[in-house]
Structure 1
Amino acid sequence: MLGMLISAGLLAAGTPAIVEQQGPHVLVAGPTVRLAVRYGPAARQYAHLFTRERPGRAPLIVYLHGGGWSAGAQTSGSAGAQPDHFTSLGYAYATVSYRFVPDVTLEEQLADVAQAIAKLRRQDGVDPKRIVLIGHSSGGQLAALIGADPAWLDKAGVPFDMLKAVVLLDAAAIDVPPIMEAGRGAPTVVRYYQPAFGDDPARQAALSPLRHAEPPNAPAWLMLHDVNNPLAGLQSRQLSVALIAAGAQEATVQPVKDTTHMRLNNEIGQPGDAATAEIDAFLARVFPEGQRPRLR
């Protein structure tokens, strides 16, 4: 059964209506401003930060793109409606570019993300004490591991309790060893998982967010998955149970209908998108102090 779920999940693409957007939100008028932020010397070690003119410092949303740890672009988030949507609600929004496997190891990729967060939280208009990670697909694995294992932010000099929430979009590789075992020889495993995680079960476990669910963890989690991706659903539920048992304030898993693996990501921020409404309501719960009546 696990093998069937993994086979289906590795091929899945597919998503729901969730709930109406809840709670009052502040909409900030004005244009979105993009700033290029370099956090290392390599060509791919940069981020884009989007902000609006507003008093004070805004919570920082950091988006991590997918691509099987070996491809993809930070414009997966910034080319769509996400920057305008999230900055209009009073957040700062950033997308991170990082180096790829096999040019670097997955551990070095995680270090890139942590260093980017360290640099972004020092930018003008950003509240360094209120950080949210959003990760899609393999970017979801990166976000989940950073949210569950304090070592990555600690190495970058970022206090772990500054990370307030994690949002996963059809996340891959929440628990790696069973995927590698049951999916042995599958094209997706050979092409993406094998170069990223290798053959050592101990290393695979160390890079699995589920194996780091003991405290401390980010306090609030939202895991959205394509209803047609049973592997993402199964592993998200496993992670949710483990996080709640470890003391997380929230670890919600929500299947999304009428979508695909890519649409779930690409339609975030678009008017009427159900997954976006889920994220907005979740963030309103995480940051209730920032919610005010609509300005327009």
Structure 2
Amino acid sequence: MRNWLVSAAVVALLGAGVVEAQPYGGRLGGPDFPAATPDQRVDYGNDPMQRLDFWRAKNQFAAAPLVVFVHGGGWSRGSKDNATGRWKAVHYAEQGYAFASIDYRLVPGNTVEDEAQDVAQALKALLDRAQALGIDKRRVVLMGHSAGAHLVALVGTDERYLRAAGLSFADLAGVIPIDGAGYDVPVQMADAGAFMKSTYQQAFGTNLERERQLSPTLHAEAPNAPRFLLLHVQRPDGIRQAQEFAAALRKGGTAVEVQQFTGNGLMAHMEINRRLGDPGYAATPVVDAWLKRVFAR
């Protein structure tokens, strides 16, 4: 296999109006992970998939920076409940950050454009409640894994989604795409083997102009979100796409760092999401140090 993101089959095995936030009693956790009970659920639209879970920062008496996580799943699978990873909510809250994990509408019932707009609208719902939720509106980072990496990268480079939600790049301090491989969609679709061909075609169709419009690398000329941290494991398509995206961001004058972690294949792709926030996992201190620098500005 020359290329993959996460097959729909594997993800299935893994796991516009805004209404008031509601207390939420869901619980993420298990025998090998710390438990994390969301403090609130926010419905940011009328569709059942337009919802998010929110955790307040621990031991934070002033307004806290916010990390917003967007799950993966080939744009057609996954949810905030089975793809957030069990460490993130606990770890980032303990670091003094508010943390949110969002659901969004999925293809084929909706489009990738709808998904990117949902990311922006979920952020808008959080910022509209910033005072009540204890969020510092000036310090917000978007983080996403796999297809979620593509979505946060797209929102961080194509401002139309933020503008449609009444926001702008000024509302973002940074973006962390995690092991994505769809930053240049036409290139990725041309390289994709049979394993992923149907997933990409379902998400992006066959219209070249639309594929280009949904490619963060092709939107990386300024302006963009101010800073990016690209994380990837050692699969060839992820390396190539991250390097080319980073080069395009630098050419546009956007600050970007790229970090590679050991492992290749599906298990490594899953592990970087599942274990991020685990103090014993190599990516955790890298992200922690980057967030401290970004949120200190």
TM interval, shorter chain, is 0.7 to 0.9
User: Is it true that 1:110 corresponds to 2:110 in the alignment?
Assistant: no
Distance 1:208 1:78, change over 3 A: closer
Give every structure 1 segment of 4 or more consecutive aligned residues whose post-TM-superposition deviation is greater than 4 Å.
none
Deviation at 1:77, TM superposition (A): 5.0
RMSD (CA atoms):
1.9
Which amino acid in structure 2 is aligned with residue 204 of structure 1?
E
Return the alpha-carbon distance in structure 2 between the equivalents of residues 178 and 45 of structure 1: 30
Partner of residue 32, structure 2: none
User: Is it true that 1:200 corresponds to 2:207 in the alignment?
Assistant: yes
Secondary structure, aligned partner of 2:173: strand
Note the 1:170-249 alignment, pairs <5 A.
Answer: 170-183=179-192, 186-190=194-198, 192-227=199-234, 229-249=235-255
Note the 1:283-294 alignment, pairs <5 A.
Answer: 283-288=291-296
User: Is it true that 1:138 corresponds to 2:147 in the alignment?
Assistant: yes
Q: Deviations over 1:82-137 (max 9, x none)?
A: 11100111111000000110001111111111111100122220112221011100
Deviation at 1:178, TM superposition (A): 1.5
Gaps of 5+ in 2: 8-35
Contact persistence 1:81–1:267 (CA under 8 A): yes
- Could you tell me which of 72, 81, 95 is aligned with 2:78? 72
Deviation at 1:158, TM superposition (A): 1.4
User: Is it true that 1:256 corresponds to 2:261 in the alignment?
Assistant: yes
Which amino acid in structure 2 is aligned with residue 105 of structure 1?
T
Return the alpha-carbon distance in structure 2 between the equivalents of residues 90 and 189 of structure 1: 41
Partner of residue 23, structure 1: none
Contact persistence 2:50–2:104 (CA under 8 A): yes
Q: Which has the higher contact order (CA 8 A, sep 6+)?
A: 1
Partner of residue 95, structure 2: 89
Percent sequence identity over matched residues? Answer: 39
Secondary structure, aligned partner of 2:128: coil
User: Is it true that 1:9 corresponds to 2:14 in the alignment?
Assistant: no
Which amino acid in structure 2 is aligned with residue 288 of structure 1?
A
Partner of residue 160, structure 1: 169
TM-score (normalizing by structure 2): 0.84
Contact persistence 2:85–2:275 (CA under 8 A): no
Which amino acid in structure 2 is aligned with residue 197 of structure 1?
F
Return the alpha-carbon distance in structure 2 between the equivalents of residues 33 and 199 of structure 1: 40
Deviation at 1:32, TM superposition (A): 6.7
Return the alpha-carbon distance in structure 1 between the equivalents of residues 158 and 135 of structure 2: 23
Partner of residue 39, structure 2: 34
Which amino acid in structure 2 is aligned with residue 133 of structure 1?
L
Q: Deviations over 1:235-262 (max 9, x none)?
A: 111111111111113x111110146110
Return the alpha-carbon distance in structure 2 between the equivalents of residues 78 and 234 of structure 1: 25
Contact persistence 2:143–2:175 (CA under 8 A): yes
- Could you tell me which of 265, 270, 273 is aligned with 2:273? 265
Contact persistence 1:214–1:243 (CA under 8 A): yes
Distance 1:32 1:59, change over 3 A: farther
Distance 1:74 1:12, change over 3 A: closer
Q: Deviations over 1:161-203 (max 9, x none)?
A: 11111111111310011222232x613121x110110010000
Return the alpha-carbon distance in structure 1 between the equivalents of residues 213 and 128 of structure 2: 30
Contact persistence 2:275–2:281 (CA under 8 A): yes
Deviation at 1:12, TM superposition (A): 8.7
Gaps of 5+ in 1: 1-6, 14-30, 290-296
Secondary structure, aligned partner of 1:135: strand
Which amino acid in structure 1 is aligned with residue 78 of structure 2?
G
Contact persistence 2:84–2:274 (CA under 8 A): no
